[in-house]
């Protein structure tokens, strides 16, 4: 089942001689439970694509479907609620709340949405990501790799339709990067979580189920599920 789809997706900046086609007609589809890596160099459009997929920015034209909902047609308030409930984000910067411990950081988005925390599910995530011993530690007491694991756990806590990871290992050393990516793949497999990861690192991309290559705002290969 397709859980994420774009059609003729465009994002342009400027006009005339200064026109930049950050995305220029992107068709992409992702099956539920897939782990997809979008690979491209700096300026290829991969980060712009992630922002469109996550509803963080509006397209110039085209559509973005997440969990059978055309998010490009949602009003700002509707989009904010949909994003909070259906889309998980993991960035290079961990964005943890410094005064909250690991567990509190993980469940914060669920509580902010007024929903009941699935404690058993959260405990499973904490166990799989190796955070049990750090459950009541503050972010300042954690290594970079541990903080990124907390960020992943937080993104998974609301059981999103898709998890978007933007260069999630960008601030980590190579060994820790492999560790975090392995854990991300395990959680994807264990919970049937759909993951779309943006990266410029070919070695990291090889861990995904499918690699999508983007260049000059266009998908060059791998854009369609089971293509």
Distance CA(170)–CA(65), nearest Å, equals 28
Q: Which residue has the higher pLDDT, 126 or 179?
A: 126
Average pLDDT over residues 106-133: 92
pLDDT for residue 11: 96
| All residues at 6 or more sequence positions from 127 whose CB lies less than 8 Å from its CB, including other chains | none
DSSP conformation class of 142: S
pLDDT for residue 150: 94
pLDDT for residue 157: 92
CATH number (domain holding residue 38):
3.40.50.300
Distance CA(67)–CA(74), nearest Å, equals 14
Report whether pLDDT(30) > 50.
Answer: yes
Report whether pLDDT(219) > 90.
Answer: yes
Q: Indicate the angle between helix axes 102-112 and 119-128, nearest 10 degrees.
A: 140
Q: How many domains are there within the chain? A: 1
In a domain? residue 115:
no
In a domain? residue 67:
yes
pLDDT for residue 47: 92
Query: Tens digit of pLDDT for each residue in 154-212?
Result: 999 989 999 999 988 888 888 888 888 888 888 888 888 999 999 988 888 998 999 99
pLDDT for residue 226: 56
In a domain? residue 119:
no
In a domain? residue 138:
no
Average per-residue pLDDT in the chain?
A: 91
Q: Which residue has the higher pLDDT, 138 or 15?
A: 138
Q: Give pairs for 146-150: CB < 8 Å, separation 24+.
A: 147/94, 147/96, 148/90, 148/94, 148/172, 148/180, 149/180, 149/183, 150/94, 150/96, 150/102, 150/105, 150/106
Distance CA(116)–CA(49), nearest Å, equals 32
Q: pLDDT category, 227, cuts 50, 70, 90?
A: very low
Average pLDDT over residues 202-223: 90
Q: pLDDT category, 107, cuts 50, 70, 90?
A: very high
In a domain? residue 215:
yes
In a domain? residue 193:
yes
Rounded to 5°, the CA angle 33-41-200 comes to 45
pLDDT for residue 188: 85
In a domain? residue 65:
yes
Query: Tens digit of pLDDT for each residue in 52-103?
Result: 999 999 999 999 999 999 998 899 999 999 998 999 999 888 899 999 999 9
In a domain? residue 16:
yes
Phi, psi of 100 (to 5 degrees): -105, 145
Q: pLDDT category, 143, cuts 50, 70, 90?
A: very high
For residues 19 and 217, is the Cβ–Cβ distance under 8 A? no
Report whether pLDDT(224) > 80.
Answer: no
- Determine the structural domain holding residue 7 and report its residue range: 2-94+161-221
Q: pLDDT category, 3, cuts 50, 70, 90?
A: very high
Distance CA(223)–CA(36), nearest Å, equals 10
């Amino acid at each position: 089942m397709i859980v994420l789809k774009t059609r003729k997706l465009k994002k342009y900046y400027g006009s005339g001689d200064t026109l930049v086609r950050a995305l220029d007609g992107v068709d992409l589809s992702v099956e539920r439970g897939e782990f997809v890596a979008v690979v491209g160099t700096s300026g290829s459009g991969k980060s712009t694509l992630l922002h469109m997929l996550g509803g963080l920015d509006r397209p110039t034209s085209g559509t973005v479907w997440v969990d059978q909902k055309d998010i490009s047609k949602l009003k700002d308030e509707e989009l904010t609620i949909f994003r909070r409930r259906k889309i998980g984000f993991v960035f290079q910067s961990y964005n943890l709340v410094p005064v909250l411990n690991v567990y509190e950081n993980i469940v914060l988005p669920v509580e902010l949405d007024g929903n009941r925390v699935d404690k058993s599910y959260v405990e499973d995530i904490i166990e799989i990501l190796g955070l049990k011993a750090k459950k009541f530690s503050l972010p300042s007491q954690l290594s970079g790799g541990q903080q990124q694991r907390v960020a992943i756990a937080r993104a998974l806590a609301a059981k999103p339709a898709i998890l978007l990871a933007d260069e999630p290992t960008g601030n980590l050393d190579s060994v820790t990067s492999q560790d975090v990516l392995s854990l991300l793949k395990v959680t994807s497999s264990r919970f049937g979580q759909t993951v779309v990861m943006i990266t410029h690192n070919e070695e990291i991309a090889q861990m995904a189920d499918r690699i999508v290559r983007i260049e000059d705002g266009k998908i060059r290969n791998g854009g369609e599920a089971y293509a």
